[in-house]
Amino acid sequence: MNKVEGVIFDWAGTTVDFGCFAPVNIFLKIFKKMGVEVTMEEARAPMGMLKRDHIKAMLQMLRIREIWKEKYGRDFNEKDIDDLYSDFKPLLIASLAEYTDPIPGVINTVRIIRNSGMKIGSTTGYTDEMMEIVVACAKKKGYEPDCFVTPETTNSIGRPYPYMIFKNIEKLGLTTSWKVVKVGDTISDIKEGINAGVWSVGVVVGSSQMGLSYEQFINLHDNDRNEVIKNTEDSFFKAGADFTIKTMMELPGLIEKINKLMNEGKRPNAR
């Protein structure tokens, strides 16, 4: 009987840091320092990518690119990306420990999955140095996957490329990609899962794609909350997600459904 062998989670916005605010706030700050005001939506759009790639993706956005040209009289270059990243990295590292609280439902869900015999892996857009802080702090608060992989392990090639997932599969000793589930909170996560040939799942509540803090989310009126959830789900499906879950607590039930689909001969990304 075919069964899911492993689940690979993203970190910020998926398992810790509700709303994925640690990096977003720093992106706003470093661009403002350069005299370029960016919006929260622009800062979030490339979320999930390696952070230097994220900065480059922001600079390539038409509005930001035009503002940059107007201010500096030229297009951005590789040195500009490096300079922005040099500002970004220490600011993020200094603040990371504050953004490592597990998202509600994560610790219990991971316990259920692990007790069912599955391995727990993880991928991220953070560097090894950043993850030393995140992993240690999350462990103290009750969340610890079996392994984590950063883009530094894959020659600085991060999402949406599939290589971090492949490294997880190797580290965890999983037999094949179609018996693996990837759960993330950004479009980059969804594409990473698709490109790796695993079941690609978007988690809605607490996600960067939703972009709300815990307080903002719980204070929404029911109709507004339902609309935000639906819009986030739609964006994941548009990117090609196999499934979405509102919260991590729905994941064990979804895995049971995936097990049944696999035994009917279904495979990921078959739509």
**Set 17, 51, 119, 189: catalytic member:** 51
Sign for the pseudo-dihedral over CA of 19, 23, 24, 26: positive
Is there a binding annotation on residue 10? yes
Active site residue 260: no
Contacts of 1 (CB under 8 A, 6+ apart): 259, 263
146 labelled binding-site residue? no
Q: First and final CA of the chain: distance in angstroms?
A: 23
Is 230 among the residues known to form the active site?
Answer: no
CA atoms 181, 122, 191, 238: torsion sign: positive
Does 268 sit behind a cis peptide bond, omega within 30 degrees of 0 on the bond before it?
A: no
**What is the DSSP track for 42-100?**
HHHTTTTS-HHHHHHHHHTSHHHHHHHHHHHSS---HHHHHHHHHHHHHHHHHHGGGG-
Closest among 15, 47, 24 to 190, alpha carbons compared = 47
- Say which residues have a Cβ less than 8 Å from residue 155's Cβ, sequence separation at least 6: 163
| Residue 234 in marked binding region | no
Binding site for Mg(2+), by residue number, is: 10, 12, 185
Residues assigned a catalytic role: 10, 51
Binding site, by residue number, is: 10, 12, 185
